[in-house]
Amino acid sequence: AQRVTQPEKLLSVFKGAPVELKCNYSYSGSPELFWYVQYSRQRLQLLLRHISRESIKGFTADLNKGETSFHLKKPFAQEEDSAMYYCALSGGYQKVTFGTGTKLQVIP
Amino acid sequence: DGGITQSPKYLFRKEGQNVTLSCEQNLNHDAMYWYRQDPGQGLRLIYYSQIVNDFQKGDIAEGYSVSREKKESFPLTVTSAQKNPTAFYLCASSDSTGLNIQYFGAGTRLSVL
- Please, what is the average pLDDT of chain A? 92
- pLDDT beyond 60 at B1: no
pLDDT tens track for B22-41:
999 999 999 999 999 998 88
Instruction: Categorize the per-residue pLDDT at B61 as very low, low, confident or very high, splitting at 50, 70 and 90.
Output: very high
- pLDDT beyond 70 at B109: yes
Mean pLDDT of A83-104: 89
- pLDDT beyond 60 at B2: yes
A96, B102: Cβ pair inside 8 Å? yes
Mean pLDDT of B58-80: 96
Q: Count Cβ atoms below 10 Å from residue B8 Cβ, excluding itself.
A: 12
- The alpha carbon of residue A38 is apart from the nearest alpha carbon of chain B, in Å, by 10
- pLDDT beyond 70 at B57: yes
User: What is the rounded distance in angstroms from the CA atom of residue A64 to the CA atom of residue A41?
Assistant: 32
pLDDT of residue A33: 92
- Please, what is the average pLDDT of chain B? 92
User: What is the rounded distance in angstroms from the CA atom of residue B48 to the CA atom of residue B23?
Assistant: 12
Q: Which of residues 2-41 of A touch B (CB under 8 A)?
A: 6, 9, 32, 34, 36
Q: How many CA atoms lie within 13 A of B50 on its CB side?
A: 12
pLDDT of residue A52: 77
Closest by Cα among A46, A30, A50 to A38: A46
A101 close to B (CB below 8 A): yes
pLDDT tens track for B42-52:
899 999 999 99
Question: Beta A10-14 vs A102-107: how paired, if at all?
Answer: parallel
Is the backbone peptide bond immediately before B8 cis, with ω within 30 degrees of 0?
A: yes
pLDDT of residue A93: 66
Residues sharing a CB contact under 8 Å with residue A107, sequence separation 6 or more, in sequence order: A12, A13, A14, A15
> Across the A/B interface, how many CB contacts are shorter than 8 Å?
56
Strand partners, B89: B36, B108
User: What is the rounded distance in angstroms from the CA atom of residue B50 to the CA atom of residue B30?
Assistant: 6
AA letter at A13: V
> Out of A44, A86, A100, whose CB is closest to B40?
A100
Instruction: Categorize the per-residue pLDDT at A92 as very low, low, confident or very high, splitting at 50, 70 and 90.
Output: low
pLDDT tens track for A11-51:
999 999 999 999 999 998 888 899 999 999 999 999 998 87
Question: Which residues of chain A have a CB within 8 Å of the CB of B96?
Answer: 94
Strand partners, B12: B111
Closest by Cα among B2, B20, B4, B1 to B90: B4
Identify which has the larger pLDDT, B97 or A70: A70
CB burial of residue A4 (10 Å; 0-12, 13-18, 19+): buried
Report residue A56: phi and psi, to 5°.
-120, 125
Mean pLDDT of B13-18: 88
